[in-house]
Structure 1
Amino acid sequence: MKKLYFLLLLSLGYEAQAQNKYELNQGWVCENVKQVKADGSALSNPGFSLNGWMPATVPGTVLTTLLNNQKVPDPFYGMNNEKIADIYKTGNDHYTYWFVKDFNEKAIGNEQVWLQFRGINYKASIFLNGKKVNTTPHEGMHLRAQYNITRLLSATGKNRLAVIVYPPDVVGNPNGGQGGDGTIAKGLTTQYTAGWDWIQPTRDRNTGIWDKVTIEKTKSINIQNPHVVTLVPGKRNPDGKQAPAIIKFSVEVENPTAKPVSGTLQYQIAGKTIQKAVTIAANSNSEIKFPDFTLENPKLWWPSGYGAQNLYPVEVKFMSNQQTLDQERLNVGVRQIDNIWNAHTQSMGAYVNGQKIFVKGGNWIISDAMLRFTDARYDAEVRYHKDMNLNLIRIWGGALLERPEFYNACDKYGLLVFQDFWFSGDCNGRWVDPLKKEDQWTRRKYPDNHPLVLAAMEDGIKLIRNHASLAFWCGGNEITPPEDILQPLKNDLLPRLDGTRQFFDFSNSDEMSFNSLGGNGDGPYGIQHPKSFWGTRTFPYNSEVGSVGVGDYVSLQRFIPKENLIAPQNKNKADSVWEYHKYIGYDGHIDPYGKAKSAEDFAMKAQLVNYDQYRALMEGFSSHMWDWYTGSIIWKTQNPWTALRGQMYDYYLDPNACLYGLRKGSEPLHIMLNPLDSMVSVVNNGFSTHNSLMIQAKAYDMDGKEYFYSQVFNSIGPSSVRKFFPLNEFLTKLDKKEGVFVSLKLMNEQQQALSENIYWMADHDGNYKGLQSIKQTKPTITALQKDKHQVAVTLSNANGNPVAFFNRIALINKQTGERILPAFYDDNYVSILPGESRTITVEYPGTERNLAVEVYGWNVAKEVVEVR
């Protein structure tokens, strides 16, 4: 077995930035296989006519190309997905396509030219200039391919590449089950494409040249798969001089020529050069290991909220006779990640650089269901996770090992990554399921080609192992891989290729989180009363716990037709388009604010529920930090499609109140109110003690009248939770027939607010009658351009006014009125107390100059203010 999957990888491996490498990402054309009579040898002849062929999107899927050529409607809008033919009904030929690309390249002297595919789904035969490139078809979505095409290049430098791409052999019946009938998992491909409870089926099952195609030029040596391990012994602090770190380095070096090549292999880090004299035999690939290097006073990498995300550029070179034969570059974060079992919680504890980290995470599916990945989108999505004050993203097993650009963003923003491999309890047989075609025993053996899976695992580990953000490996979502995959992965591949990260057999295994309560080990998934997050004990490291996520009205208008914008009502079935987009009911949680009168009214009230849900979720888990829990991971924080559940921002990168409620509840230093006993407490996630803190509590009625309770000085130690005083008697004495606002502030000696939190309390009946009748108020709003990518928005509420409650701020184009997306707000859905002001900073990555700010709130009429 081991020999078989090793042979598949002999020609693979490269991902660090090469010295001379470029993408083939323009000028492709394609045609359906049924329309093409010629074979690959003829098609790849530069003289063969391609008149009438369709422009192709590469990298991209067949469905993306069809959409870009207006051959199909946008499957993300309304019920359009139902208008697109599903491969299960049409047969595979319907989505089998030839892709052709002309390019200029030739080799001079000892130059070697490499053709590299970072992802093809599912099988492919490749031709260049009338010759077949791959002797056996490429197979497997999660496997890279590299070919030395030096001898196949045209002497004139004008070349033609032709690739026929076949869909997965078994595409699965999209019968409404999780992963359809489950048979999509028979191949090494994305399981979600047959449908899930958060997405409709992807009609082409992601068929296509879906990831980058590159040409790399080297001399007679090809450097591949550098491997950097950093050891940071002891317990460290983010600031001050550091004790040394140890750097372990190895790299694969290929010599494709008929003669041995001698020279100096070296890498550079922090201004130091470490080198080694080597000879690489003809037609061979050797792994070269360097002696350990001691890095003095290292600048360490920390997760978000704990310290800086320092990265060192590393350059690898092979020199011979004063000539650089090949060169690669990568960025390395110096850190050490350990796991120590917490016997009290009975769950794993994450440690970075010797410091324990309370995990606050989000589950990630995939950036885009049609695999339209960009660096900018990855950067924005990961930044949103940082803005939520999260420190971890878990990559769910029914999709991908994400692309290196995703991990680059996680390295940049300090998000640890919990990486699943490609298995799910639904498709791979954990449960009895009448919607599945085959029984559990059969599904347990999926995928069919186990050596291919092991080859892809080896390649995937090499692809992403150097990223500082990559923290944990996981065998699969809610189920382990088959035993003949699990054991080689666990006992050979990971120790040999990585050896530094914890591996968990599956995502809710007892070795990660001992399930003493019974059940499946995760959830709940539906909407909860905020009290439940504080009082109901779940699993000590909960890998999936989550709730609702409908966006605001502007978001809904982007993908729900006007005639379907009908407010869902409690206990009634929602509109068909809402149902199609996987709406999860808000049950009776909207009604206490007044029954929704319209979709716009529903969306506004949903944001109140969203905010309260996710603030309470993270506050509840944090309140039991190190007692009940070592961490929790929200299911889920984003959607790759226009779904109506489990998202902090929509597909178009427009955030909703989930994001800001979660941001508030996840603050590194946070003051909060326990809804069970009205106890005020503070959580400190940091490594330092905070002394001389002022803890302040007030209440306001619906007219804005202030009721002072207390402010006291105290302190809180590192990585801890401390209770201070209860408000139950104070709140009982207040007239709560209409509800009140509770304002909590945590201030330093300079009277600067370190944490602020405003709760809106229901009346005796659990309704919000006061909010329903609260008077309108008009805050003063200014918007100033701070620099070319930043706007400061200030809201001021005069004394004598009621609370200006729950204001949404949106940066817009002042002429079109459309929102600028993405945009990053340091807070939103903010409430302004009487006599106070708040300044919100908005950052946006574009060069837009025609800006205005739109503000509206619960009792604040919509106002548009020009940015000055």
Structure 2
Amino acid sequence: MTTGSTGQAGNDDASLHAVPLHEGWTLRHRGEALPARVPGCVHTDLLAAGVIPDPFLARNEREVDWVGRTDWVYDTVLPARATAHERTDLVFDGLDTIAEISVGGAAVGRTANMHRGYRFDVTGRLAADTQLSVLFSCSYDAAEAVRERLGATKEAYGEDPRPFIRKMACAYGWDWGPSLPTAGIWKDVRLEHWSTARPARVRPLVTVDTATGAGRVEVRIDVERTASGAGLALAADLRVGGVDATTVFEGDEAVVVAEVPDVALWWPRGYGEQPLYDCEVTLRVADGPALGHWARRVGFRDVVVDTRADEHGTGFTFVVNGERIFARGVNWIPDDVFPSRVTSARYRERLTQAAEAGVDTVRVWGGGIFERDEFYDVCDELGLMVWQDFLFACAPYPEEQPIRGEVEAEARENVARLMPHPSLVLWNGNNENLWGFRLWDWDKELAGDSWGEGYYLGLLPRVVADTDPTRAYWAGSPWSGSWDHHPNDPAHGVIHSWDVWNTTDYTDYLNDVPRFVAEFGWQGPPAYATLRRALPGGELVADSPEMLHHQKADDGLGKLERGLARHFAVPAADDFDRWHYLMQVNQARAVATGVEHWRSHWPVCAGAIVWQLNDCWPVTSWAAVDGDARLKPLWYELRRLYADRLLTIQRRDGAPVLVAVNQSRSGWDPEVLLRRMSVGGEVLAEARVRLAAGARGVAGAAVPDGLLPRPGSRTEYLVADADGQRALHFPVRDLEFAYPEPSYDVAVAELPDGAAGVTVTARTLVRDLLLQADRLSPEAAADRGLFTLLPGESATIRVTGWPSPDRAAAEAALFAVTGTSTGASTETDEGTRTGTTADTRA
């Protein structure tokens, strides 16, 4: 029996023949057999057979808990095929998770890691009607067995199985995800017939001399040989960028190098193009036939992370091809709690949504998986820099065997697998575990037991240095760079900002200038149509049992409502339409507060990665794209916040300052129209201010005298307009401002491209107007999110997927901030007016 990396060999030559094993599978449990899909998982097979209800709907998650606590068997019949090859391997690219593999009734291997592949020698075992069986054991039982073997105390680790099994951690639930641990053959499976030798591992080290424009590809090849290939001279041919190179060798390792002149550089989106080069390696007998072929696309770029100390602390800045970059990012979680359902098309759709929101950095979070190659292919093409976590999150992890061996094996395999991708810019050791050691008192609870530090500061950086020395490694997120500073010190390295969401207010983002923010965010509910599908029947109510079941954060509803209460009156739970709209507004406002502040402090602050882009099921969460792939108002706000050019009003030394943030490659010198406005629409003062922000720079200017609203005024505000951008400054919170009842006209017309145009003309100030297009039709989508109109202004919202455009329906789907929320008397320019109860629907 042999186990190890699946390798990366191709199947497009006569010497290696691969036979996919995706058909004819059954799933068995206690004697009952069902059709099974491979790749797939137990839950999706049970769903397809009608055995279980959809766990994403209502509270069905509870009804299917038994599935993850059960053993399952997958069976198929292996194809009997006469072959002249010396060796036949059974290859699994991914098994989830604890499995015993049997061929013809005899065990050939066992697995204990979802995050790596396995290869088993089955030479001579294939006859007519040979059965292949994969028995998946309950992951809870397997984790508990490891815990008992290690003598780990439940006082230190709780009941959590995650640290004791190399399985997708969020399968057991998270504060945005359900607890649905599954089992199954979640990646491809095949038979590989081969002779003499095969390329077992191929590692391309791609570098570029930015001064001369010359690229270098150094390919390191590990081979596996049969008895006939022992000691035989082999050759490795490399072809990349029109350059050919060859090396001849007799051992099991080889290096072949190609120097490619005048390469076109790969850039992050917004900084240049993303040229990709075919890189091909052929293994052959020296002066003889080909044995195996490997092919990937590579890109030439130079990436470093500048973590030098300076007068502000310790920096953390991505530098690509010599260009310093403010990272505009999103955190990525598995796009489905059942990852085998995520197709290549779904990867492309979701990552395109990220790119269209102005994102240039995607952090693959450590509680999920190493995504399939197609994910990174799309990032290569779109210019999305990938920050890749190793798979450790929010828990102490024992460093003893057998876990340590599995950790090293998965790390070496996945570093080698992913290193061809130019989009990959950083390996990160863990999510919140170095921080957690201090924050959650692990040192006291563990009483000296191992908890993962040896992985993050020892094993993993060594694996990266051995396997992929072209990329930077960072020990954790957050991490200050050493134990000399608190792991989450804003002045050093990378931070996570969660006190704001958990305990304070989003205006507290303004209290410091971190060097890099790798996690921050605010919750908001999914789209109305998503909730309607996920919670069928009855009226939607904010605190209904079904709604609360789709809110996984600890005291999530309480945090949402306390966060809202600092800015708006909290609607009654059964006033769902108003509650839903205001929560989405608050989510967008919170993220905007942070991003505008941090971008205005470039280059001291060099990145913001919002939590999170996507959801793995329909849920109230921090996501910008909900579990049914609908865009929340936050997504549209990110598109504004992450644009190359951003106009904002920030406070400096207690006074509002006009700031132009310019991340484009050319200078930006906008003439900004500033107007001090009354709540009734009168222009009280006006001026024009010229800003001059150089390429990739920031420029600021004080607001001229007479333009600032009176301190504490509830009836005056400042408007800044330039080049189609608008920034607003209100001297008090929404809760205190004397918003008028919004008044506007609505017209609906067919646009030349067949979409519907909803034109809104404001008669009053209309703050944060939102058309919830999915209320018009579940398939409908709008081209814009929240926006503000001044009296007399008009805007047209383009709506697609709306089969029967109708003005009354459009009016019912429009929402805006209105009224005052205190009910107290509020000043106006004419005197006083009686406050009205806040209402958000026009």
Q: TM-score by structure 2 length?
A: 0.81
Q: Which amino acid aligns with 1:14?
A: Q
- State the 1:85 CA deviation: 3.3
Aligned-partner Cα distance in 2 for 1:837–1:224 = 63
Q: Secondary structure at the match of 1:682?
A: strand
Q: Which amino acid aligns with 1:30?
A: L
Pairing 1:359–2:327 present? yes
Q: Secondary structure at the match of 2:187?
A: coil
Q: 2:425 aligns with which of 468, 471, 475?
A: 471
- State the 1:485 CA deviation: 4.0
Pairing 1:295–2:260 present? yes
Pairing 1:247–2:207 present? no
Q: Secondary structure at the match of 2:40?
A: coil
- State the 1:494 CA deviation: 1.6
Partner of 2:205: 229
Note if contact 2:76-2:131 (Cα within 8 Å) is conserved in structure 1: yes
Partner of 2:7: 13
Aligned pairs (5 A) from 1:691-840: 691-698=668-675, 709-726=686-703, 729-732=706-709, 737-738=714-715, 742-745=719-722, 747=723, 753=724, 756-759=725-728, 761=730, 766-770=735-739, 773-785=741-753, 796-797=759-760, 803=766, 806-808=769-771, 810=773, 817-819=777-779, 827-831=784-788
Aligned-partner Cα distance in 2 for 1:732–1:306 = 39
Q: Secondary structure at the match of 2:174?
A: coil
Partner of 1:166: 137
Aligned pairs (5 A) from 1:343-354: 343-344=309-310, 345=312, 346-354=314-322
Aligned-partner Cα distance in 1 for 2:157–2:53 = 23
- State the 1:497 CA deviation: 0.8
- State the 1:622 CA deviation: 0.8
Partner of 1:61: 41
Aligned-partner Cα distance in 2 for 1:15–1:779 = 60
Aligned pairs (5 A) from 1:246-395: 246-256=216-226, 258-259=228-229, 262=233, 264-279=235-250, 286-291=252-257, 293-319=258-284, 323-344=289-310, 345=312, 346-371=314-339, 372-395=341-364
Aligned-partner Cα distance in 2 for 1:723–1:24 = 62
Partner of 2:110: 137
- State the 1:578 CA deviation: 5.1
Pairing 1:600–2:573 present? no
Q: Which moved more, 1:591-600 or 1:662-671?
A: 591-600
Pairing 1:577–2:549 present? yes
Partner of 2:463: 493
Partner of 2:448: none
Aligned-partner Cα distance in 2 for 1:462–1:444 = 24
- State the 1:142 CA deviation: 1.6
Aligned-partner Cα distance in 2 for 1:716–1:12 = 51
Q: Secondary structure at the match of 1:386?
A: helix
Q: Which amino acid aligns with 2:389?
A: D
Aligned-partner Cα distance in 2 for 1:306–1:551 = 33
Q: Secondary structure at the match of 1:450?
A: helix
Note if contact 1:360-1:631 (Cα within 8 Å) is conserved in structure 2: yes
Pairing 1:858–2:827 present? no
Aligned-partner Cα distance in 2 for 1:259–1:518 = 56
Aligned-partner Cα distance in 2 for 1:562–1:224 = 54
Aligned-partner Cα distance in 2 for 1:516–1:482 = 15
Aligned-partner Cα distance in 1 for 2:398–2:223 = 38
Partner of 2:659: 681
Q: Secondary structure at the match of 1:228?
A: strand
Aligned-partner Cα distance in 1 for 2:548–2:668 = 56
Q: Deviations over 1:781-812 (max 9, x none)?
A: 54443xxxxx7765555586765852336489
- State the 1:405 CA deviation: 2.1
Report the CA distance shift for 1:415/1:803 in structure 2 as closer, same or farther (over 3 A).
same
Pairing 1:153–2:126 present? yes
Aligned-partner Cα distance in 2 for 1:68–1:574 = 24
Report the CA distance shift for 1:448/1:678 in structure 2 as closer, same or farther (over 3 A).
same
Q: Which amino acid aligns with 2:633?
A: A
Q: Which amino acid aligns with 1:496?
A: D
- State the 1:351 CA deviation: 0.9
Report the CA distance shift for 1:257/1:489 in structure 2 as closer, same or farther (over 3 A).
same
Q: Which moved more, 1:827-836 or 1:415-424?
A: 827-836
Q: Deviations over 1:508-540 (max 9, x none)?
A: 22218954986995222544645332x211642
Aligned-partner Cα distance in 2 for 1:24–1:212 = 8
Aligned-partner Cα distance in 1 for 2:347–2:155 = 29
- State the 1:268 CA deviation: 1.9
- State the 1:446 CA deviation: 6.7
Q: Deviations over 1:221-275 (max 9, x none)?
A: 423432222223347xxxxxx7222222222333335245555422222222222
Partner of 1:654: 630
The RMSD of aligned alpha carbons is 3.9
Aligned-partner Cα distance in 1 for 2:157–2:624 = 24
- State the 1:648 CA deviation: 0.8
- State the 1:682 CA deviation: 0.8
Note if contact 2:399-2:454 (Cα within 8 Å) is conserved in structure 1: no
Partner of 2:54: 74
Report the CA distance shift for 1:734/1:503 in structure 2 as closer, same or farther (over 3 A).
closer
Size of the alignment, in residue pairs? 768
- State the 1:472 CA deviation: 1.5
- State the 1:685 CA deviation: 2.2
Q: Secondary structure at the match of 1:730?
A: coil
Aligned pairs (5 A) from 1:116-131: 116-128=91-103, 130=104
Pairing 1:397–2:366 present? yes
Note if contact 1:809-1:829 (Cα within 8 Å) is conserved in structure 2: no
Report the CA distance shift for 1:256/1:739 in structure 2 as closer, same or farther (over 3 A).
farther
Pairing 1:24–2:42 present? no
Note if contact 1:669-1:685 (Cα within 8 Å) is conserved in structure 2: yes
Q: Secondary structure at the match of 1:774?
A: coil
Pairing 1:188–2:166 present? yes
Report the CA distance shift for 1:738/1:483 in structure 2 as closer, same or farther (over 3 A).
closer
Q: Which amino acid aligns with 1:31?
A: R
Q: 1:524 aligns with which of 486, 498, 520?
A: 498
Report the CA distance shift for 1:444/1:677 in structure 2 as closer, same or farther (over 3 A).
farther
Pairing 1:610–2:593 present? no
Q: Deviations over 1:722-753 (max 9, x none)?
A: 102427842426996456573522x3xxxxx4
Aligned-partner Cα distance in 1 for 2:762–2:735 = 29
Q: Secondary structure at the match of 2:268?
A: coil
Q: Secondary structure at the match of 2:163?
A: helix
Report the CA distance shift for 1:842/1:29 in structure 2 as closer, same or farther (over 3 A).
farther
Q: Which amino acid aligns with 2:411?
A: M
- Between the aligned residues of both structures, percent identity stands at 21
5+ residue gaps, structure 1: 1-6, 36-51, 236-241, 281-285, 429-442, 748-752, 786-790, 861-868
Q: Deviations over 1:167-193 (max 9, x none)?
A: 3344569xx999962333112223333
Q: 2:612 aligns with which of 636, 639, 647?
A: 636
Note if contact 2:302-2:320 (Cα within 8 Å) is conserved in structure 1: yes
Note if contact 1:133-1:149 (Cα within 8 Å) is conserved in structure 2: no
Partner of 2:440: none
Report the CA distance shift for 1:604/1:703 in structure 2 as closer, same or farther (over 3 A).
same
Q: Which amino acid aligns with 2:116?
A: L
Note if contact 2:20-2:190 (Cα within 8 Å) is conserved in structure 1: yes
Pairing 1:201–2:179 present? yes
Q: Secondary structure at the match of 1:777?
A: strand
